Amino acid sequence: MTVTQTMHKTDQELKTAVTEELHYTPNVDASGIDVQVQGGTVTLSGEVNSLPERLAAKQAAMRVGGVTNVTNKTAVRAPMPADVNDEAIALAADQVLTWTVDVPANAVKADVQDRRLTLTGQVTWEYQRHAAARAVTYLKGVKLVSNEIQLASTTPTAGTKAAVEAALRRSAELNPVNITIDLDGSELALHGSVGSWAQRREAERAAWSAAGVTSVRNELHIAS
């Protein structure tokens, strides 16, 4: 079977495609989500049953070809049992962080207010920050995760920029010809264009993997 994909979609076509993708995604209940599209930017609103479902809805919208940006205004509204309170969530968060192998021991603290969980502390790598947020996202009752974990400041080597450029060239997902890199101390910026959100995320992942990088500004835009 040959699949033909139109290079450019109207906003109405994008709305239809995103709505269909939400209904097709098994871990999203699309019945409570409203989709609006303007100029390729998708806005999701309505109510979902959990934080993972909220994130899955955004990821579903980002998978649709032609989408240039996604604003997620959905809210977690599921009622919780009486024993799932801030204290219980904080205790569970501490336990799961302790048992998560990608999170350094005693490096991250979780604080919970009104089922909104804030992570603080300091780690060495971005993947460790991501691992901590991922671990607590799936706890029952959590409405929002704010990741305020800091990266330890180190000095990039003289070859850091070249290493990121080489990583972009190695990637099977990317054609880095339209990507440029600026490195200012430990802060790295990506400029240019890519063909999809998946490529944009892959370029950012490669940038975060460089030793000494503590900030990545992803200014890549999706070429229509």
The DSSP result for 129-174, as a single string, is HHHHHHHHHTSTT--EEEE-PEEPP-PPPTTHHHHHHHHHHH-TT-
SS3 for 117? strand
- Decide if 123 contacts 149 (C-beta within 8 A): yes
Q: Which pair of structure tokens corresponds to residue 153?
A: 């400041």
Same domain for 168 and 140?
no
Last residue of a domain, one of 133, 151, 169: 151
Task: Establish if 185 belongs to a structural domain.
Answer: yes
Report pLDDT for 97.
97
Task: Establish if 103 belongs to a structural domain.
Answer: yes
Same domain for 93 and 49?
no
What are 93-134's pLDDT values in tens digits? 999 999 999 999 999 999 999 999 999 999 999 999 999 999
d(CA 50, CA 57): 11
Number of domains the chain is built from: 3
Report pLDDT for 4.
42
Count of C-beta atoms within a 10 Å radius of residue 109 = 16
Q: What angle do CA 43, 46, 48 make, to 5 degrees?
A: 115
Same domain for 72 and 31?
yes
Report pLDDT for 175.
87
Q: Given the structure tokens 């290493």, which residue do they identify? A: 163
Report pLDDT for 16.
97
Q: What is the CATH number of the domain that holds 121?
A: 3.30.1340.30
By residue range, what is the domain housing residue 164?
Answer: 160-222
**What amino acid occupies position 92?**
A
Task: Establish if 33 belongs to a structural domain.
Answer: yes
Task: Establish if 128 belongs to a structural domain.
Answer: yes
d(CA 56, CA 32): 14
Report pLDDT for 190.
97
Task: Establish if 199 belongs to a structural domain.
Answer: yes
d(CA 83, CA 87): 9
Report pLDDT for 7.
57
Q: Which pair of structure tokens corresponds to residue 146?
A: 């704010």
d(CA 197, CA 63): 7
Report pLDDT for 101.
96
Report pLDDT for 8.
77
Task: Establish if 138 belongs to a structural domain.
Answer: yes
Residues in the chain with pLDDT < 50?
1-6
Task: Establish if 3 belongs to a structural domain.
Answer: no
User: What's the pTM?
Assistant: 0.81
Same domain for 178 and 204?
yes
Same domain for 142 and 168?
no
**What amino acid occupies position 195?**
G
Task: Establish if 55 belongs to a structural domain.
Answer: yes
- Decide if 63 contacts 92 (C-beta within 8 A): no
